[in-house]
Amino acid sequence: MSWALHEFFAAIEEEFGVPIGDADDAYLETPGEVIDFVVENSEPTDGMTEEEHRDHVAGVLGEIMARTLGITRYSEDSRFVQDLHVR
Q: Does residue 46 lie within any of the structural domains?
A: yes
CA distance 75 to 87: 18
- Domain with 26 in it: 3-69
Q: Which residue from 16, 22, 21 is spatially nearest to 35, judged by alpha carbons?
A: 16
Q: Does residue 50 lie within any of the structural domains?
A: yes
The distance in angstroms from the start CA to the end CA of the chain is 8
Q: Does residue 22 lie within any of the structural domains?
A: yes
Q: Is the whole model's pTM more than 0.75, yes or no?
A: yes
Q: Which residue has the higher pLDDT, 50 or 1?
A: 50
Q: Give the pLDDT confidence of 59-71 residue by residue, as tens digits.
A: 999 999 999 999 9
CA distance 22 to 3: 15
- Helix, strand, coil percent content, the chain, rounded in steps of 5: 55, 0, 45
Q: Give the pLDDT confidence of 22-40 residue by residue, as tens digits.
A: 665 567 999 999 999 999 9
Percent of the chain with pLDDT over 90: 74
